[in-house]
Amino acid sequence: MEGKIKIRNLKLSDKAELAKLANNKNVWDNLRDYIPYPYMESDAEFFIGLTNKENPKQTFGIEYKGKLSGVIGLVVQKDVYQKSAEIGYWIGEPFWGNGIATRAVELITKYGFDTLHLNRIYTGVFEYNIASMRVLEKNGFKKEGIFKNAIIKNNKVCDEHRFYKLNEK
């Protein structure tokens, strides 16, 4: 399994596939609202352009058996939080259930700790996204707390489960 999953730079040639995978309500229901829905090729082109300007690199495509299957990234924080990053990821629905997110989180966490020299990686997960919570737990992330009624998604109020992992080096 490990050799079939990798994270890599996004390329303009990913535009059509990225738009196809991201333009899915079941995927979008687990993402923040700043990610557009419907998701068009123009959105993908703009996003790929942003990722290619990153220095250091923080956003990657997830590849499974040679095909783009999702996106994963770290948002390095600023000021007193400069050694922390928020992780975010999504997998296209045709690829769900293959362990892709678990391996991609493992790879980017290693990258964040070893290459970006982060002390802490964290994220928030919508209360109904149990699969994402399992991905984090499998990678050694610990639940830090539950932010009650912290999120409004699809006009419904829900809790946010916060997870973190510390760099043990």
Residue 1 reports pLDDT greater than 60: no
87-to-40, 101, 105, 109, 122 alpha-carbon distances in Å: 24, 12, 8, 8, 6
Q: Give every CB contact of residue 29 below 8 A, 6+ residues apart in sequence.
A: 153, 154
Give the closest residue to 46 by CA, choosing from 15, 22, 24: 15
Maximal C-alpha separation, the chain: 42
Give the closest residue to 71 by CA, choosing from 83, 50, 80, 81: 50
pLDDT averaged over the chain? Answer: 96
How much is the pLDDT for 169? 83
pTM of the predicted model, to two decimals?
Answer: 0.95
pLDDT band at 158 (very low <50, low <70, confident <90, very high): very high
Considering the chain, what percentage of its residues have pLDDT values greater than 70? 98
Region 13-34: mean pLDDT is 96
Dump pLDDT digits (tens) for 41-52: 999 999 999 999
How much is the pLDDT for 2? 57
Dump pLDDT digits (tens) for 129-147: 999 999 999 999 999 999 9
Structure tokens at 156: 């419904």
How much is the pLDDT for 71? 98
Task: Go through 72-95 and write b for each residue having 16 or more CB atoms within 10 A of its CB, e for each that does not.
Answer: bbbebeeeeeeebbebbbbbbeeb
The answer to whether residues 60 and 73 touch, using CB atoms and an 8 Å cutoff, is yes
